[in-house]
Structure 1
Amino acid sequence: MAQAEKTKVIVGMSGGVDSSMAAALLLDQGYEVIGVTLQIWPSGGPETEKSCCSVSAIDDARLVAYLLGIPHYVLNFRSVFEEKVVAYFAESYFRGETPNPCLACNREIKFGELLRKARGLGAEYIATGHYARVQRDAGSGRFLLFKGVDGQKDQSYGLYGLGQEQLRHTLFPLGEYRKPQIREMAKARGLARVAAKPDSQEICFVPDNDYAEFLRRRAPEKVVPGLFVDREGRPLGKHRGIVRYTVGQRKGLGGTFGKPMFVLGFNPERNEVVLGEDAQVYTPVLWAEELNWIAWPEVREPVRVKAKIRYKAPPAPAWVIPEGSAVKVEFDRPQRAVTPGQAVVFYREDLVLGGGTIVSDPRGLRRRSI
């Protein structure tokens, strides 16, 4: 990354090793670094070591900022976080989808509200500890998003929703590094407190990671028992609320069906969980909308890609076929547990072409019109 003399950058510091080293690396490169921690959890919210947004994160981030000799501030984003992340998360589940709140947080909060705040304060960039890379294409002038060098930690999947203005003003200092390197570098800088800190693994606003209980408390009238049914609508037993299940699930269904059964999808308007056999969990096609293209302004013709249907899924060869404001994705081989509400992200080697939200269950259980 090129040197920059006293260009102001605001670093989102969660109190973890990645964001701490993002600040340290930018400081080394000559930037004027300001650390901020976003206060997004409600009063009395989660307080666990593995939660990226726990109250204790403020103390860890403040300590790192002190050791680095940079200013640190806490910004109250509670209201906008509730509106754009928590409410979205809940309503998506109640529609029978399985949302990813981290994608919404990235798009709306970290690279939305925080970027607007940073630009208003005269900062040229914001930066985070994500493992991804941004490069400007000399030919088109577009800002392109690439996977991080560390394939085990690559976080480009969760960043596909960033637009050109966001990418233009975003730095990812860790994109060229591997996670073990970052931990060793943190130790060498005397940041022992965060160097060995575990990665956050929980939904930051859900205590104990029990999202079903969180949703039940939020809207008890929407988390009630209903029926398991087969694809023809025949009753198979009773469930404990559709938010307690996910597509592809077999264990924990709480019923005896005479043979292994798996969750195929949901009929939320009838409060039904649809079950079927393992072979029915696979599909060769999905539809997606709410698309964001990074490599090009738009796509009008079929495009050959590798598509990821969830963060940990391996990219699968597929064709992306435009259909109005949506796309149809046809895979070379059927994919397991394609899940409405999740993102499908399109790649060409390390380049993120774009992505969208899966809006239909290709086994016949449609969510929203396309």
Structure 2
Amino acid sequence: MIRPNFSFDYFPAFPSLTPDFQVQRIDALGNYRLGIRKTWEQGKHAFYAQPSVGFTVNNYWDFARTDSTSFFFANRETKIVGNVGMEAGMKFNTRRKNYLLVGLRHQSGLSSLNPIEIGLYAGNSQAQVQRRGSYTGMFVGYGIDFKGRTRDEKLEERLERQENKSAKREIAWGSGPYLSVNGLLRFRPKSEREPNLEFSHISGGYEFLGGYTLGSFSVESGYSKFNAYTNVRLPGGLNINTPTNYSVSAIPVRLRYHMDIGDKKRLRLGTSLAAFYTLDTKGRIWYEGAIGGYSNTTYNLTSTPLDQNIQGKLFFNAGVFAEIPIFNSSMITFNFSRNFGSPEVGKINVSGNVNAEPVNFDSSGSLNGWIMEVGYKLPLKSLFK
């Protein structure tokens, strides 16, 4: 270990500040010990204590420099002193017989290391700092068992791992409470796409859910959020999505039925039916303008949000889903479904002109459309296995 000990400015003709020297002291310390360890095993972990004896190698440098090149010196010394130490801590065994150590260590030096001296070249006063290399600290270590495991131990570990894997999956795929989080894409009709914008009819959303599985049935609820854009069909058949966008929050209540495919619990298929209770709608509440043109159609429009409050409305969802295991204690879910029965959302008044002709009409969007979801499902019982 190398560390700067300290540095100071030295003025040999003080109170005159010239010449001046900047002095820096640096130590390199190496500790070498041999100990005897006593271990008290407690299953997969153990407590241990280890006394030790050894020595400390102290290499010492002292540099001084001045603002001119007329004076420079450096010296180096090495000193070796004995030390005794004591450490105690916990030992955590791994499956491969290696181990992690966490504990406290104290070391005491048996004599002084190189002193640090501060002297005046033109005077007779001197200060000296003594140290022995003693310290107390916390440490973390890792040990490797080079002996390794026997063939029988490897076989036993493999069987135990397979048994634990099967037990975890059995618990994860069984009855009990769970949490899940889903991200989704909603596909509105292709007729709502804007010209030259292939994916302009796709919007996103997410869900945070909690549920309970009992046999082949599950019921879940939580919080859902859908992004919605209002599509406007202009005279002449041109589609545009207004610059005003909305997000709709809702509480879902979903009933699911599933069946496991095969005996190894690697695939689950099912159907679902849900009702959504809308909470609120959030979006821009100021005027927005749109100026553009396409295919001999030019427009200069302003959209004004109208009814923002749709709280208490219902819409529905039905679809199919698949689940596959991950980490043996949880699942990745894939859902393909469709929203239907949506109330009007993002209602706006559109005014302005199209091809120099005045227009003034209302338009609204919906939450209907095909839904693709990918989610993560965590059965809570698997956390306590």
TM-score range normalised by the length of the shorter chain: under 0.3
Structure with bigger helix share is 1
Q: As a proportion of its length, which structure holds more strand?
A: 2
Structure of higher RCO (CA pairs closer than 8 Å, 6+ residues apart): 1
TM-score under structure 1 normalisation? 0.21
Q: TM-score, normalised by structure 2?
A: 0.20
